[in-house]
Amino acid sequence: MAKKQASKELTLEQILFNCRDILRSKVEKADNRNAVLSLVFLKFAGEKFQKRRKEIIDELHQKNMPDEAINALCDAPAGYGKVNVFYLTETCRWNYIVDNAGSENIAEMLDTAMADIEEQNPSLSGALPQKFFTMLRVDTKTIKALIDEINKISPERFHEKDLIGRVYEYFLQVFSIDERKDKGEFYTPKCIVDLIAELIEPYQGIIYDPCCGSGGMFVQSMKFVEAHGGNTTSIRVYGQESTPSTYRLAKMNLAIRGISHDLGKEAVSTFTNDQHKDLKVDYIMANPPFNLKKWRAEDELTTDPRWSGYTVPPVSNANYAWILQMLSKLNTTDGIAGFLLANGALGAEGDEYKIRKQLIENDKVEAIIVLPREMFYSTDISVTLWILNNNKKAGERNGRRLRDRQNEILFVDLRTWNTNIYEKSYVMFSPEQIADVKKIYDGFQSVERAETYEQPELYRAVKLDEIQAKNYSLVPSQYIEFVDHDLEIDYQTEMQRVQTELKDLLTREKQSQNQLAEAFNNLGYGID
């Protein structure tokens, strides 16, 4: 009898593709994404609730409490909220939704569950879509198929990761061909967040992101702190997001993980309606939209205090507006920021040049790190990681003794670090590569560093006078030595090698001809 072949476990991307296929041609792209994200949230919240419910029951059984008391206490909201788990009434729980997925009123049941969860859990206020599934106007069979597909997502495989962020990232990938969207609306890959966190070390204090998207940057930075033995309760998170659906998603993503946050009262532009005007922060981690155009009107924000001491950023591109926005929030004593920008900002001219020149003269830039292409789903351009630091003086940080780096910038070029491929064509950094960049950065800051700090084709520390001589360019290739490997060839030795190989080849060719002639002669065919 033939053995039954084990079914292959679906990847998250395969499950999400199946969800898209179920809704194909039935709903708009955004509704497709929001439907899946809403159900993922219900599944995630439901499984966390069930896990906590079992813990409570087990704890009460160990205390030999009667069943009636156990039933009452395991349904008390307090036992869930104290460990940052949402309390869910029976009709909001994922197992109830799965059991009733074929009901004719499943759309209304889902909307009621969303409304009830938000009402019972104040931290989710304004985060969940309301009356979404009834307004979607798809048949019961379609919703049931979608629920059944979402139910295949394994909690053991995916829930310890940033699941909601990964779902969001997937839909940005597949729907990224939308010319109405500016490049830059995407979820930042985990390896890049890990790299930023390794460099700026946000172990305690206030973290800020002026364009926080789905909140994935915050989620991953918290995981970084946990992995390094830090205390996440000593960190406060502030952010802002202008797209209403993404704002709700960020609140959902942070609340479900128990991350204390303040994303402002509403989804509005950081530039035109700063929700944290008087905020000063210790760390900034951000991935602003690249090359954002028309971010303000021509006569708007021209005297804004955020640009104080600098030229007003141009309407045509918000790259330097983001820089000045973040700089205005940094603690002036020792605030540090790590953020991504399109490479064009490194050598831009006009008003952007004036701002860049002043930033360099004010000694705000500590490091410029160019990343490989193909690291993001929704854009294939190479981008730059900037490190701004309000304290480049000698001192001590997290157990490391630092040298004086005033009027000096570290340039790193990682464009060739593109061999670690995942999902066919996308590039990611390995933990070892992140550790290597960390070593370069820490070495630059170290008191033990040599006066000349460089490795050709990879990194170099550059002083202000050389940057001034290069007209304040921050393009790494202006400073990092690139070796012409053709010049390393010893042509005389190389020619001797080629001649020897050619002589050997001709000898073997002659021998083959002689052997062939002998064979024909043996057969009675004379060959002269």
Q: Which of 188-197, 208-217, 374-383 has the lowest mean pLDDT?
A: 374-383
Does 192 score more than 90 pLDDT? yes
Helix (H, G, I), strand (E, B) or coil at 493: helix
Q: For residue range 283-317, list pLDDT tens digits in order.
A: 999 999 989 999 999 999 999 999 999 999 999 99
Its pTM stands at 0.79
Check residue 495 and give its pLDDT. 62
Q: For residue range 145-182, list pLDDT tens digits in order.
A: 999 999 998 776 665 556 776 776 677 666 543 433 44
Q: For residue range 446-485, list pLDDT tens digits in order.
A: 999 988 999 999 999 999 999 999 999 999 999 998 765 4
Choose between 224 and 302: higher pLDDT.
302
Read off the pLDDT of each residue in 340-348 and give the average, rounded to a whole number. Answer: 95
Range with top average pLDDT, 71-80, 182-191, 298-307, 481-490: 298-307
CA torsion through residues 21, 24, 27, 28, sign: positive
Choose between 106 and 228: higher pLDDT.
106
Alpha-helix runs per DSSP H in 103-243 = 106-120, 132-136, 140-150, 155-158, 163-174, 190-200, 216-227
In our burial notation (b when 16+ CB lie closer than 10 A, e otherwise), range 23-60 reads beeebeeebbbbbbbbbbbbbbbbbbbbebbeebbeeb
Check residue 184 and give its pLDDT. 41
Check residue 172 and give its pLDDT. 61
Residues forming a β-bridge with 207: 237, 283
Q: For residue range 19-59, list pLDDT tens digits in order.
A: 989 998 898 877 888 898 899 889 989 988 999 999 999 98
Read off the pLDDT of each residue in 310-334 and give the average, rounded to a whole number. Answer: 97
Read off the pLDDT of each residue in 82-89 and give the average, rounded to a whole number. Answer: 88
Check residue 176 and give its pLDDT. 44
Amino acid of residue 228:
H
Choose between 508 and 476: higher pLDDT.
476
Kindly give the pairing relationship between strand 235-239 and strand 261-262: parallel
Choose between 309 and 69: higher pLDDT.
309
Check residue 293 and give its pLDDT. 94
Q: What is the spatial distance between Cα 252 and Cα 37, in angstroms, rounded to a whole number?
A: 10
Q: For residue range 109-130, list pLDDT tens digits in order.
A: 999 999 999 999 888 888 888 9
Amino acid of residue 406:
Q
CA torsion through residues 169, 170, 171, 174, sign: positive
Q: Which of 173-177, 259-263, 336-340 has the lowest mean pLDDT?
A: 173-177
Read off the pLDDT of each residue in 7-23 and give the average, rounded to a whole number. Answer: 83
Check residue 498 and give its pLDDT. 64
Q: Rounded to whole angstroms, what are the CA distances from 46 to 14, 81, 161?
A: 22, 14, 17
State the DSSP H helix or E strand holding residue 402, giving kind and residue range, or none if neither. strand 400-402
Closest Cα to residue 378, out of 188, 139, 120? 188
159 half-sphere exposure, CB direction, 13 A CA radius: 19
Mean pLDDT of all residues in the chain? 87
Banded model confidence at residue 264, pLDDT cuts 50, 70, 90: very high
Q: What is the spatial distance between Cα 253 and Cα 86, in angstroms, rounded to a whole number?
A: 13
Read off the pLDDT of each residue in 267-285 and give the average, rounded to a whole number. Answer: 96
Banded model confidence at residue 1, pLDDT cuts 50, 70, 90: very low
Does 355 score more than 50 pLDDT? yes
Does 519 score more than 80 pLDDT? no
Q: For residue range 377-432, list pLDDT tens digits in order.
A: 667 778 999 999 999 999 999 999 999 999 999 999 999 999 988 766 789 999 99
